[in-house]
Structure 1
Amino acid sequence: MNLHEYQAKELLKKYNVPVQEGIAVDTVMAAEEAYRQIKTQTGNNFAVIKAQIHAGGRGKGKIEGTEQRGVAVAKSAEDAATIAKNLLGGTLVTIQTGAAGKKVNKILVAQDVYYPGPNPVKEFYLSILLDRATGMNVIMYSTEGGMDIEEVAHNTPDKIFKEWVHPGGPLQGFQARKIAFNLGLSGEAFKNCVKFVTNLYNAYVGLDCGMLEINPLFKTSDEKIIAVDCKMNIDDNALMRHADVAALRDVSEEDPTEVEAGQYNLNFVKLDGNVGCMVNGAGLAMATMDMIKLSGGEPANFLDVGGTANAQTVEAGFRIIMKDPNVKAILINIFGGIVRCDRVAAGVIEAYNKLGNIEIPIIVRLQGTNAVEAKKLIDESGLKVQSAILLSEAADLVKKAVA
């Protein structure tokens, strides 16, 4: 589950991770008031206003049809109102959103941390995620933080450092010091960085994060180390341990079909192909997607109905798949182990009758428990549903459907 920047920062503060303070708002009037509060607190006329969407590249992105950037600096309450008016309700297009962009429903009015002082300011990059190759958490960091970190990784990979942390154990003190040293810090900034990285790693583990990215990690002119931006992803499988975090979910940022599928406990991921597929079991689903490609089609989705498929889940799966106008055929591939094939067949027939007016070919391949009975049910239903027993038969039917 992805979180907005303002949500992630509030969680980090619970782990004593210093952050750029700000106020999240959803109206122009509230943005003006937030600006005045920030100005009073900091004594600074400058405030940073950031669009809150689940995507990076906001600083370079623009509101569709305008020149308004996703991150802008306000020098007055009037500026704050103008920027907020341009952002709220607009569609922000960034390198990560694609051409469709994402609608901005909230903005964060944050303090300016780039104020002048006795020492130069500096942007760094730091992220924590699971390295599946080693089975350990890895901290990736660089002296070259900011909006162009992707180019740094591509053009100068030697500037990206990595520190692996053994699972089940804490970040060791020498590792935190090594990170601060490699970032070129000394004195008070060095000490603050060691504390920051240690607390950040504790937050990563404590919140069951899948990924935690701070870009930029920032050294202020008075040697403080703070998180100016934060991307946080929480492992969905751990949300049962974090009811407070689960409540932060913003479904408006997610694909509506995936949200609907979740309501029926369906594992669904939308893709860009032309053949919808409904399968029980993730492994079989992956194999089915491969088969679709080998047959000349492209999978339009990943849909695992699990081992408890019934008429309701099959109907929900049908409805979700058919919302995609690119789908030219639907392939149902069920191996009857936990779930009986005849139960799935009955669900297919019931769903077909309920939905009605299904113009695209539907191919059903059932194998395993009660497969023969299931094929008989479908063949005698009188519906325009093509049944198959062998995977090769299903592949041939898919090939004809998309030809």
Structure 2
Amino acid sequence: MLSSVSAGPRIRSGKKDGGSFQMACGVLIALSGALAAFAFSAIYAKGWIDLEVYREGGAAVLRRTSVYDLVVGERWLKFTYSPFAAMLFTPLALVGMEIAVALWVLISILALEAVIWVLIGRTTVKRRDRRATHTLLAVVAILPLYPVTLTLWNGQIGIILLLAIVVDLTHGKEKWRGIGTGIAAGIKLTPLIFIPYLLVTRRFRAALMAGLGFLGTVVLGFLLLPADSRDYWGGAFFDTQRVAAEQGADFFNQSLRGVLMLMPGSWPTVPLWLALCAVVGTGGLLVAARTAKKAGELAGITACAIVGLLVSPVSWPHHWVWCIPLLVLWAQRAQRTEATLEKVGVGFLWFVFLLPGYIALAILLIYPSHAGMWLMLLTDSYVLSGLLTLLALAVCFSRSDRRRRRHGSGDG
């Protein structure tokens, strides 16, 4: 799957103006998305519920009122990010909702294009014009995926954080790597999974920098928002009811805990979930470390992110934007090896991240009484895909090691 994807050296352009048309098309896509979002928000005032929470969090900072006492909109949403994140969101409170929506969608689509540009440029495509073409085609294929459209529709920050982590851990000076990931974790806690990953891969300096970056956001929060910081780090950050209080929300929790919560019968959910997290977390991080060694840093980062999504208490479909590097890296491997079975696998995985989410949403909105086992099977497809990805990587590397040992003993 992700194996045998070469990390390779950074690609340099073969033509100064190669790919200019494709890049212009990419910018046009981003601008069109922003304009459409602005028009829809202005006319219907629907969608972008998470962005509204971000704005209200930033507004609370400016008003010097409690961020964690906020209740936003008809769905009674609460601010669930750190005080540091609330401070970063203050510029959103200085503009109208329609302007904020347009800017956020524009930045998110540009971030998506930048992520794909980095993924393709760090692997096999050398010429700038071909790299731009591949990037544009990948953007067109990935934009309709449910995690991506839901991220844009909700005004979520996932794609922006994805870009920050990928760039931080694969680009720039080695001595600063990790600090961007730590800051990302200071905004949203899920990137903390990359600290044990860096330790397992023996990148101790990067792990230290990530820890320091995260600690810096916490300290800054206590200095500027001491009351909110005491509330958040005193227990609000671990209160899953703040993010999953809606009836029916468990159907969309794409994590191991979400699966267990929907299992029929009486289960010791918390102990079983913790046991599964220990097994999947430990084994998955080892697989991610092996993936980084065998297939390159981007593949290792992607495998690590999948582990984090599985063990997190709550992983909404829009958190699974890590399907972007998973699909791009696997598609490149399938194209390079010309393996028909792997091309079919890429197509099937693309289908998994495209259709089930929309079907599940339609069932829940139109036929809520049918939200039973079939809906659970649809919504748990992401969890199953993540587990199968880690298992496939483990099996692939195990077979590769056995073949190498056989050849080695034969040569002796």
Q: Give TM class, smaller chain.
A: under 0.3
Please tell me whether Structure 1 or Structure 2 has the larger radius of gyration of its CA atoms: 1
Return the structure number with greater relative CO, CA threshold 8 A, min gap 6: 2
Structure ranking higher in helix proportion: 2
Structure ranking higher in strand proportion: 1
